[in-house]
Amino acid sequence: MGVEVSRLSNGLTVASETLPHIESVALGVWVKSGSRNEREDEHGIAHLLEHMAFKGTGSRTAWDIASQIEDVGGEINAATSVETTSFFARVLKDDVPLAVDLLADILTDSRFDPSELEREKHVILQEIGAAHDTPDDIVFDRFTEAAYRHQTIGRSILGTPETVASFSPEQIHSFMQRQYGAERMVVVAAGGVRHEDFVREVEKRLGSFRAKAPGRVPQTANYVGGDYREHRDLMDAQIILGFEGRAYHVRDFYASQILSMILGGGMSSRLFQEVREKRGLCYAVYAFHWGFSDTGIFGIHAATGKEDIAELVPILLNELQKAGEHIKEDELKRARAQYRAGLMISSESPASRAAQIARQMLLFGRPVTNDELMDRLSGVNVERLTDLSARLFSTRPTVAAIGPVGTLASFEGIASALPTDQTAGRRLAV
Active site residues: 50
Q: Which residues are CB-contacts of 374 (< 8 A; sequence separation ≥ 6)?
A: 336, 340, 343
3-state helix, strand, coil in the chain (%, to 5): 50, 20, 35
Which of 275, 287, 341 has its CA nearest to residue 313? 275
The SS3 assignment for 291 reads: strand
The SS3 assignment for 128 reads: helix
Spatial contact of 26 and 192, defined as CB atoms under 8 Å apart: no
**Got the DSSP string for 293-330?**
SS-EEEEEEEEEEGGGHHHHHHHHHHHHHHHTT---HH
Helix/strand/coil (H, E, C) string of 221-239?
Answer: CCCCCEEEEEECCCCEEEE
Question: Strands 13-18 and 185-191, how do they pair?
Answer: parallel
Cα 321-327-330 angle, rounded to 5 deg: 150
Which of 126, 102, 121 has its CA nearest to residue 54? 102
The SS3 assignment for 136 reads: helix
The SS3 assignment for 110 reads: strand
Q: Which residues are CB-contacts of 279 (< 8 A; sequence separation ≥ 6)?
A: 311, 315
Q: What is the CA radius of gyration of the chain?
A: 23
